[in-house]
Amino acid sequence: MRTLELHCHPTTPCAAVSGIQVTVQRLAAAQLQLNYRVSGVVSDLVIPATAVAARRYELWQLTCAELFVASGKEQSYCEFNFSPSTEWAAYEFRSYRQGMCAQSLVTTPRIAITSTATELLLSAEMELSELRAPCRQAELSLALCMVIEARDGRISYWALKHPANKPDFHHADGFALKLRE
């Protein structure tokens, strides 16, 4: 298990959030558990209301946790969005922002939310065995990210690493965490 700090992109500050930590654990070769812990003034954030756990597109426009998965020198990668509403999205890309299509999943990612005045915890567990072959290898490169919408309408972008002058979670240099079985 590893706990890592996400960093806010310098062009998108958010006064309501004092920090975001993500704990990553590969439970088995085919399972990944993520815990995103947002610290700050939770009432100053826009948190989507709980809904039926189902696929929903364009979650990245709201408060949501994100995961990008790649393997080796492959140009292809997968993107996952986990909303506090328990809705989710899964995409596959052939290369940098090209060839996007919905990633088919049989097992719905399991998302749980806990919230207090000073913390929002979003936990997501997913099956890697259903992903396209390069995204389920023994060694993976991950980009851990989060989009935060504040009540004042501002959006902030948080990631392990921001390799560009503007927020870009798809940038290959942002896949900063190497994870082995």
Which is more confident, 106 or 96? 96
Tell me what pLDDT residue 135 has.
60
83 within 8 A of 63, measured Cβ to Cβ:
yes
Residue tagged 């929002």 (tokens): 120
Tell me what pLDDT residue 114 has.
97
71 within 8 A of 107, measured Cβ to Cβ:
no
pTM attached to this predicted model = 0.94
Domain, as residue range, for 56: 2-180
- Mean pLDDT to the nearest integer, 146-166: 97
CA-to-CA dists, residue 24 to 14, 30, 31, 37, 53, angstroms: 24, 14, 11, 12, 22
Residue tagged 């709980």 (tokens): 50
Tell me what pLDDT residue 128 has.
82
* φ, ψ dihedrals at 99, nearest 5°: 70, 35
User: Residues 6 or more apart from 38 whose CB is under 8 A from it?
Assistant: 17, 19, 20, 45, 119, 120, 121, 122, 146, 148
- Split into its structural domains, the chain has a count of 1
Tokens of 111: 């998302």
How far apart CA 130 and CA 67 sit, in angstroms, is: 16
User: Residues 6 or more apart from 28 whose CB is under 8 A from it?
Assistant: none
CATH number reported for the structural domain that contains residue 43 in this entry:
2.60.40.1190
Tell me what pLDDT residue 147 has.
98
How far apart CA 5 and CA 120 sit, in angstroms, is: 15
pLDDT in tens, 105-155: 888 899 999 999 999 999 999 988 777 655 656 678 999 999 999 999 999
pLDDT in tens, 17-65: 999 999 999 887 678 999 999 999 999 999 999 999 999 998 988 999 9
* Single-letter amino acid code for the residue at 106: V
The count of residues in the chain is: 181
Which is more confident, 135 or 87? 87
